[in-house]
């Protein structure tokens, strides 16, 4: 809301409980859309429908926090691509937590092929399928069965070092960021499950949804004051 973007986002609610919470608390409850099936497939069908309507679409995981208005950075990157996507810090693994699709025939074709592939392969991790159709990962032993894609649209990765960054949960070599706090645009704090695998996590679980979204110390509409200045716990988390 502080960046005047609240009315530009639709909240996809996967069940009645999340829809009820969203519609009761959202300033514009009509932007809460109730789904009928709790599945990652739903987000791709919604994105494809928006593309078919002639609009570009920006998808965001719920566990992201804006430090700056991301649209200028994303649109600048999209000048040379139809798909713009985030990635992990220390690897070339894509992270679909921030994904922009330009209103373009190649984007529509890509999403249609993704939906068809996932329909026939429902047990594959949807993020890996996305990467496979971009030619980044080998989905089905391509050398034996052929490539799952015909044409790859132009695509670019967002800056993963200091702008569109993630927290560090499991691997300091693959996750995290480096640079200056004031350069962070979106912080993806990777708390979509409400817990961690304690056998492989670097530290104990922290409820980062509560830190960023249920924290009376923070005023998320005050975009003039960085969040790490509003609460030292936020700075501690960012620099961890």
pLDDT digits (tens, 9 = 90+) for 96-118: 999 999 999 999 999 999 999 99
Q: How many residues are recorded in the chain?
A: 240
Burial of 153 (0-12, 13-18, 19+ CB in 10 A): buried
Report how far residue 35's alpha carbon sits from residue 14's, in angstroms, rounded to the nearest whole number.
5
Query: Helix, strand or coil for residue 95?
Result: strand
Sheet arrangement for strand 57-60: 57-60, 94-101, 83-87, 155-157
Residues 6+ apart with CB under 8 A from 44: 111, 114, 115, 118, 126
Q: What is the pLDDT of residue 103?
A: 95
Q: What is the pLDDT of residue 145?
A: 67
DSSP state of 34: E
User: Is the CB of residue 203 less than 8 Å from the CB of residue 212?
Assistant: no
Report how far residue 188's alpha carbon sits from residue 95's, in angstroms, rounded to the nearest whole number.
10
Residues 6+ apart with CB under 8 A from 131: 93, 94, 137
Query: Helix, strand or coil for residue 162?
Result: coil
| Per-residue pLDDT in tens (0 to 9) along the chain, 240 residues | 899 999 999 999 988 998 999 999 999 999 999 887 788 888 999 999 999 999 999 999 999 999 999 999 999 999 999 999 999 998 878 999 999 999 999 999 999 999 999 998 887 888 889 999 998 888 777 776 677 777 899 999 999 999 999 998 888 888 999 999 999 999 999 887 778 787 888 877 889 999 999 999 999 999 999 999 999 999 999 998
């Amino acid at each position: 809301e502080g960046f005047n973007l609240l009315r530009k986002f639709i909240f996809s609610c996967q069940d009645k409980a999340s829809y009820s919470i969203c519609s009761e608390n959202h300033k514009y409850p009509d932007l809460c859309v109730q789904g009928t099936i709790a599945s990652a497939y739903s987000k791709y069908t919604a994105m494809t429908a928006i593309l078919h309507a002639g609009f570009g679409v920006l998808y965001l995981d719920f566990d992201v926090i804006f430090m700056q208005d991301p649209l200028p950075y994303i649109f600048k990157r999209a000048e040379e691509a139809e798909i713009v996507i985030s990635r992990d810090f220390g690897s070339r693994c894509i992270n679909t937590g921030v994904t922009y699709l330009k209103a373009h025939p190649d984007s529509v074709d890509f999403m249609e092929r993704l939906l068809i592939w996932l329909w026939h392969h429902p047990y594959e991790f949807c993020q890996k399928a996305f990467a496979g159709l971009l030619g980044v990962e080998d989905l089905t032993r391509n050398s034996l069965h052929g490539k799952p894609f015909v044409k790859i649209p132009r695509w670019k990765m967002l800056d993963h070092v200091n702008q569109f960054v993630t927290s560090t949960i499991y691997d300091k070599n693959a996750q995290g960021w480096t640079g200056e706090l004031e350069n962070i645009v979106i912080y993806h704090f990777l708390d979509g499950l409400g817990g961690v695998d304690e056998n492989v996590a670097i530290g104990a679980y922290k409820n980062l949804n509560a830190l960023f979204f249920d924290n009376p110390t923070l005023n998320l509409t005050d975009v003039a004051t960085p969040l790490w200045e509003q609460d030292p716990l936020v700075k501690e988390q960012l620099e961890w």
